[in-house]
Every structure is written in structure tokens, then in C-alpha cells.
Structure 1
């Protein structure tokens, strides 16, 4: 990295980056940086927060664990410690991320909020503007991922509610909701786990199920459900695997439709691949629903000052509202002049070809396939960029040799 301009008081205002600029220091950014380094390509990571993996460190609840076995969640070139359990905790995953960064000597530039990134057609370089610096490079890697910003739905009347309204990004533990009546909006993995956590802290959660949802046991026959599905997909058609998963799920969990949890017509894996909607892997919430400790509610019609009115005509009072409504990409807010992404911030090109755009643009972490997809993207990007890096170095060496011969 070198300076192309210095402002007053010797503060760098414009920096030339030899390798690619990576936006985001979560698992995606760390993985691609490590793979690049392993191929001899330097990079610079820009991170808006003051730490790596900020979603995990600052915006996740305490009881969070990986939903999949650790072998499906490892980043390239360095696995989890052997003494970690099959499903590492939030704090174990954070320690793994920190060890990963140390192992590969990855040092992001923290508190660099990317305001805009745009390809300069005149110079042929990417210009990435933060609050105090402009970074310039031949390559830009978008690693902010699918979960950059909380999704806050528009619910009629929510501004009238007297109690606290918090998104799961701000939820830590059910301890602060002890003995409270809590409305949980959303029934995905976060909604289920938060409701379970509230139960364990003697709160009374009412979970709003707005759409259909697939619920699968986390394990089948003593093995990871996800692991079984991945193994079967090597030999059987996707829809046949989906039918097998649903058959076992019905046998072990029962008919969830009777609990107000209607299944989609599309199978769980097919739906995940098509829309990114992840099936819920049950870790205990379903038994609490069956016992009545977690109450399933239909969609909310209106929030009132003291509670909510529901689509089925019921009206109940609540002390707090928790929005388990997920996250979204923020790429459209800062990536300018590129049509590679949709309005929702996802690559237009579907997996497995969503990792590479034009003019030196790359993306990692937008596959809708979690950490496994991140690892795949990072390896592909590093391989592609290392070829370009070698070509550029060879060209420079050739030019330098010609200059020496002329002298």
C-alpha cells in the first residue's frame, strides 16, 4: 500500500492498494484474505466496526451455537480445534475467528465505513471511499455478506407500543425479560431459539408465524441432518432427498401443521437453494410449543399501546416485542455504477457462478449456503486473482529487465 496524496497534518487521504480491497472483516473477508495470502497475494480489509466478525461479537444472543456440525463451518486452510464440540458456541466460534486472523496475520483496517465504491472507467481502477480515506485498487472484493443490516418490518401501530421493541441483533439473553409477556415476531431459527431462551428464563413468549416454515430435527439417527442430506445428495435427486427428510421429520417431530407451523409445498433443500430460506433445525423449541409454554400466534394485524391484535381476531397484552425478522445485504447503499447486484443486494448470477463480476469485481458470502459457501467462494477468488497477480508481476519483471538492458 502506498500514499498517492497527503492532506494536512500528514493524514493519508488517498491510498493505492497493490492487491485487492476487501470490504468486510467477517468470516467472508477473513477467508478470502487468508486464501489470497496463501497464494502470495496481499490485500487490505476495510471494516466499519472495531472488531472482526462483528455480527457474532456485537449482534448475536448469548446462547447462540452453530446450527451445523463444525466440519461444515470451517474456513479454508485452518480447521476448528479438536477439543471443540460438534456444535461450537458463539464464544468458541469467535475465538476460532480471532485465532484464524492471528494465524494468517490478517490485520483489517477498523472503523473504516465504506461510503461508496465505484469503478473509474478512465483510470481502470476501483475507488473506495471511507469517511476519511480513498482507497484505489485494480480489484474489489465485496465480503459484507447477506446479513449486513437488520430487517425491520413495517407493522401497523408499532410506534404506539409503550414497551421496548428490540431486534434480535440487540437481544442478548432472556434474563432481562424474566416473568414478562413477550411477542416474538418471526419463526425462523432466531425466532425459535429466542423463544426457547425466553422460556428458560421464565418469560411467556408468543411467537408470530407469518409464513410457512420447515422444521427439521437437528439430528437423525444420531447423525447431523445436514450431514445426512449432503451425503444423500451425492447419490439421489434433490427432491427425493427432500421427501426422505420430511418423512423422517414427520416421524420424529409429528405433524407440525397441527401446531400452527404449516410446511411449504416446496421441500426444505429445494426451497433453501431457490430462495435462501433456511429450514429450522429444532434444538428444543418444538417441545415447548407442544407443552404450550411457547404460544404460536397468527400474523399481527396491528400493534396497540399495550399489546397486539392478530389476524384471527385475538387481542393480547405484551410487555415487550422482539423482532426476529432476519437480516439483509447493504451492498446497494455503497456499491455504485454496477449492475452485478439486484436491488436487494444479492448477485444476479446464481450459485455457483456468483463469485465473480466484471472489471475486477468479486463477491464472497452471497451463496445462501452459509460458511460452506464462503469457503468455496474464497478458494475460487484466490485462485483466479493469483493468476492475474502472477501475470502482473511477470510483466513488471520483464519491463524492468528491458530497462536494465537498455541502460
Structure 2
């Protein structure tokens, strides 16, 4: 028998629980479906030990619940998990765990969402509105590398990395120079690992304080001015990084974040280790042969393990059978922020703005207010 509600939310990460909380505050019935056995599973089960929020806490809070005054400015992983659990409890968010959504179809003015629980049990959930809250980080992505299947060492994705203990005294290559890749390289080096990192694309390198100041200044100054300030501060602190194999983009860090969703690297100490040679820098991988990796520069180096910090992809297109003109072929919204969160046929998405937790909070509030408005108009 189908379970009927007003809003079906798929995903119990920060986006899903924030949307449910906002709906609960407006007394809108909703059901949250989560394939894992807990909320915020990416944070709880697939993140490394030293992870902290890269932005100041005021930019990372969920709707209607600021972080405590005594919380550090940059909240550690354990503190954020505690915050999320308190949030779920305060706003009476009750996800149904172990429900892996197989399909969502729009029929007769309602969304019919089919989910599998356990080995064979199939459940049907029906709602007038559907919120896709599976986010941008639903499925790990590892690029195709010729010969990788024959690599003699260990291969893992950043979501499987915990700390560098298991890699002591080994040679490890980190592939990917985003925040996760740079921080994992730093962590490995601190454990005495012979660490290298493959950097393919140009990146901006800033400190967390530079980003915090930049986000504040964006309230008052145009993006181009803030970018100029941030780039000047970065150059003053780090100098010319091209001599170390790190190229800088031609466009500014905040402009790129706004237009392409590419974040600057927030340095945790990695750059100093690169400068001293504790962390070696290589370009893109060409191919793998046995234990040896050859780079596009022609240099070949032996490694014991590879950590791919190469991000994630969405899985929306695998189960959403009617996209309500909301998603493109890559499973991302067709419209750019701030108009990305609403489609047709009562379809919404939360956590797809590439704006982190700040964007998630805005999505959740917008979606809840819009649904409540539609329901009130109908009742009147």
C-alpha cells in the first residue's frame, strides 16, 4: 500500500534535513527517504579525521539554528556532526533510513516514488511535491586512467580515506588539487608518508581568513574588487607558486566560485610543505604500468598507493524519470542560482547550487516557503 504525504524528500544529508525542518515549522507534512542508515552519512561515514568546515560557522548554519557562541569559528567534523544531530532532534526530522529510491514518476498530479528497503522489500511513497536533496556528492568519481586496473598498490577514493596511519613510510600519490586533495596530502605528510600530489588545473590558494574577509566584503564591494584584494593577499603570502607547479587561474577566486562553482583551495599548511619539498608536485597522469605512474611530463615514478580526491557526481538521472524541466543531462539544475531550485510539476532541488551549506540553507527556506504558499492559496 502506498504511503501518502504532501512532500517527499529524497536524501537526508544537510539539504534534506534542513528542508524537512523548514517544512515542519510551517506544519507541512513530509517524508524523508535516505538510502544509508543515518543522516548526513557523507560526514559521518565518508570523511577524513582532520576535516573541518572550511568556512566560518555563520556561513555554515542551517535555517533557524545558529551555532553556539562558544563553538570555534571553523567547526571541526565532530562538532558539525553533533550540530546536525541536535538539529534533527530539535525540528523533529524523522528520516526513513535504508530506503534506496529506485524511481520517481509524476502521474495524475502526484509524484510516485518507489524505494527499496532491505533485500527485496519495495515501498511506494506518494506526494504532491518532490524535493531532490541527494545533492552534488551522491556518487564518487574516479577518472579513467590507462592501466589503472593493473596497478600493484592500493587505490582508494577520498571518501574512503580516514588518516595517514596505514600509509606510514610508503609512497603515496594524491590525485586532485581541490580542498580535499590538498588537505589529504598535508595529512599524509604529517604521518611520515612520502607524499606527492597531481595538480592538473590552475587553482587559487587562499587562507581561511582571506576567504572569510572576502565573503564579508562581497556584501559591500563588487566581486572584481574583492577578487583583486584576495589575489593581492595571496600573492603577498605565498609568492609566485608557478615555480612549484601550481598555476593560477586568469579569473578571480570569487568570480570563479560564482560562475563555475570552482572553489579556491583553502590552505591548511600544504603550500609550505610543497615549498620545502616534503610534498612533491606532478602534472596530470598519463598512464599506469604496474607500480609505476607516468605523468604527461614524461616522468615515471613508483608509488605504493593512489588516493583519488577527484570529487563526486550526482545520481539524479538514474532514478528521476520525469525531470520537471529542472535538471540537465549531467543531473545538475538547468538554471543558475538563484533560480535553480524550482522546476515544474511540484519538483524542487536542494543542495545543488554549488554554494555549500549557505546555499543549502537558502534552498531549504525557499522551497518550504514556496510549497506553503501554494498550499495556502489552494485552501483559500
Specify the structure having the higher radius of gyration (Cα): 1
Confirm whether residue 329 of structure 1 aligns to residue 317 of structure 2.
no
Q: Is the 8 A contact 2:180 2:309 kept in 1?
A: yes
Decide which of 36, 39, 44 is 1:57's aligned counterpart. 44
Separation of aligned partners in 2, 1:137 and 1:348 = 23
Q: Which residue of the partner structure matches residue 349 of structure 1? A: 335
The answer on 1:79 being equivalent to 2:66 is: yes
1:195 lines up with 2:180 in the alignment: no
Partner deviation per Cα, 1:115-143 (whole Å, 9 max, x = no partner): 111211xx111011111111111000011
Structure 1 SS opposite 2:97: coil
Structure 2 residue aligned with 1:178: 168
Deviates more, 1:169-178 or 1:210-219: 210-219
Residue 55 of structure 1 deviates from its aligned partner by 0.6
2:26 corresponds to 1:36: no
1:241 to 213, 226, 244: 226
**What secondary structure does 1:118 align onto?**
strand
Matched residues in 1 for 2:181 and 2:301: separation? 19
What is the CA distance between 1:388 and its match in structure 2?
2.1
| 2:338 matches 1:385 | no
Secondary structure of the residue aligned to 2:48 is coil
Does the aligned pair in 1 maintain the 2:326–2:342 contact within 8 Å? no
Structure 1 spans left out of the alignment, 5+ residues: 6-13, 220-224, 396-407
Q: Supply the distance in 2 between the matched residues of 1:226 and 1:21 (Cα, whole angstroms).
A: 36
Alpha-carbon distance between aligned partners in 2 of 1:332 and 1:204, rounded to the nearest angstrom: 40
Q: Secondary structure at the match of 1:91?
A: helix
Q: What's the TM-score, normalizing by structure 2?
A: 0.96
Report how far residue 273 of structure 1 moved.
Answer: 1.4
**Over residues 5-35 of structure 1, what are the superposed CA-to-partner deviations in whole Å (9 max), with x where a residue is unaligned?**
2xxxxxxxx2111x20000000001111111
Q: Which residue of 1 aligns with 2:119?
A: none
Q: 1:116 aligns with which of 103, 120, 125?
A: 103
Q: What's the Cα RMSD here?
A: 1.1
1:42 deviates by: 1.7
What does residue 45 of structure 1 align with? 32
Partner secondary structure for residue 96 of structure 2: coil
Structure 2 unaligned residues grouped into runs of 5+? 117-121
Q: Secondary structure at the match of 1:133?
A: strand
Number of corresponding residues: 374
- Is 2:165 the counterpart of 1:165? no
Aligned to 1:130: 115
Structure-2 residue corresponding to 1:312 = 297
- CA positional deviation for 1:40: 1.4
